[in-house]
A and B are shown apart, each in its own frame.
Chain A
């Protein structure tokens, strides 16, 4: 399937800038959350360095997502799995280094700082969310939503576009949940599935997880529908964009 030109452009840029022969040989292609490209495209309108900003932000997001893939313990892994984990640590570090390198080449020091602040806040929140017990799904979802959109929020703050960020955050969450549901149906096991199981489910079955994800999607979409009339023009592309299109494109790496 042909990608939307915006996503195709940035996905190519991301793949080109993260190219490393040995990493590419042993690890899957980096997964690009295209909805975040869409959100950034709305938030950073008409800036001369827009392309660099979107690329750098996506690299930060990918670096941190990559580090989420590290297992808590590596004791029982065979050599191949161990090597993949070791390279996953370094892949995340490599992508972070490239984000810094790209922005330093264009002397965007204040944007380097802004993203570093975003990383700082996100690591704090992740440490709390990953190690905290939850007794309510809505509380988990609220924290996860903040976590999922933290880096994008730091960009919104940089461009003084935080006023309606609550909507952006929920929009990103809705797509994330749809994707996770779709992956579960395909038989994939993701970090998010594991997190939801650890935090909220007593019974560790796919059916229970499917039902809970359905509830989460329903809840998030209902909240999302309340916003539509109030949004400023720069966010309109998010309301008109088909969630399914983004989903399918995000999945076709």
Chain B
């Protein structure tokens, strides 16, 4: 089943969000316009806007207001991706050239800043101070998560807690904030808001762990980048942490990291295969499932409706996704 089937009833609203995104990034500066449009049209699951809409359905659903929130969080996500590609020196994303490879790093930086500014311009139409406090805190935390990711690169002595703290900041908070912002702007009860925030947080944790697993299990064609790319960048993810419980695998990872500048590709391939066969993937998947169960559990407090079913189905889909 396709992910979109879970929220088919949102199709018309999502179309409006898509056109809001296009309208928001419009500019008469041709390079910025082309770069932002290319990024927007490269697609993506639009998970964050979907969570905003579904969360808002538990309160006063006013699309003209909600779509501004939904498009702003997606634009902030996009701005962070375009800067991430500079950080990771990535030439492709979702199989398409990145802004930095099509133009250069400078244009990518300006495009990210431009999209960030547009997101805030859009979001300041929302006059709920708390919504701004939530989003701004999330943005600061998101960047701290990315700084920590660089700090922890190639550090094979890091522990599970530092990994979980990092993905909380890097991924889970923007998803939980998307759910929370939908609730805040739709003026739901504080219990509903809390339940939706928790759902988003647990979903975000599960989502990132699955992403880290796919780096070892999906093909280059499916990923749009070579498998083992995280390890190549020096990122220690949950499957790697579990795999390093095996002293032989740990030794080969230490050996692999010994030459960071020119990592041995044959050795990298061998390590990726060893991790995939070590049982670490299954262990990581169990952690992801634990978060998913918590996400389901958070929804129990919410009234039964179409939106709740969709949130349950999305959790189910994310937990089983192959890409």
Residues on A lying within 8 angstroms of B by beta carbon are 20, 22-23, 63-64, 67-68, 70-75, 78-79, 82-83, 86-87, 89-90, 92-94, 96-98, 100-101, 103-105, 107, 109-110, 112-113, 116-117, 119-120, 123-124, 126-128, 130-131
Contact = CB atoms under 8 A, between A and B. Distances in A.
A203 B139 CA distance: 44
Interface string B88-124: 0100000000000000111101111110111011001
Interface size class of B (residues with CB under 8 A): 35 or more
Nearest to A20: B147
Given A107-B129, A109-B127, A124 B27 contact: yes
Q: By CB atoms of chain B within 10 A, which of A101, A123, A126 has the most?
A: A123
9 contacts: A90-B146, A93-B116, A96-B113, A100-B139, A104-B129, A104-B137, A117-B117, A120-B117, A127-B32
Given A98-B140, A110-B124, A130 B106 contact: yes
B87 interface: yes
B288 interface: no
B309 to A, nearest CB: 34
A interface: dominant SS: helix
Contact of B121 (A105, A116, A131): A116
A173 B42 CA distance: 40
Contacts of B113: 63-64, 67, 92, 96, 119, 123
A107 B139 CA distance: 17
B interface: dominant SS: helix
Contacts, number: 141
B117 A100 contact: no
Contacts of A124: 27-29, 32, 114
Nearest to B121: A116
Interface string B136-155: 11011011101110110000
Contacts of A23: 147
Contacts of B132: 100, 103-104, 107, 109, 112
Given A71-B105, A123-B117, A90 B150 contact: yes
A27 to B, nearest CB: 11
A81 to B, nearest CB: 11
Give me the 3 closest cross-chain CB pairs, A-B, nearest first: A113-B124, A116-B120, A104-B132
B139 A90 contact: no
B20 to A, nearest CB: 16
Contacts of A82: 89
Given A72-B106, A124-B114, A131-B31, A83 B150 contact: yes
A176 B140 CA distance: 30
Contact of A90 (B31, B87, B120, B136): B87
B140 A97 contact: yes
Q: By CB atoms of chain A within 10 A, which of B31, B117, B140 has the most?
A: B117
Q: By CB atoms of chain B within 10 A, which of A23, A92, A93 has the most?
A: A93
Contacts of B86: 70, 74, 86, 89
B318 to A, nearest CB: 26
Interface in B131-185: 132-133, 135-137, 139-140, 142-144, 146-148, 150-151
Contacts of A97: 136, 139-140, 142-143
A200 to B, nearest CB: 18
A110 B114 CA distance: 18
A94 B150 contact: no
B260 interface: yes
A209 to B, nearest CB: 21
Contacts of B147: 20, 22-23, 87, 90, 94
A94 B136 CA distance: 11
B188 to A, nearest CB: 21
Given A93-B83, A94-B140, A94-B144, A112 B120 contact: yes
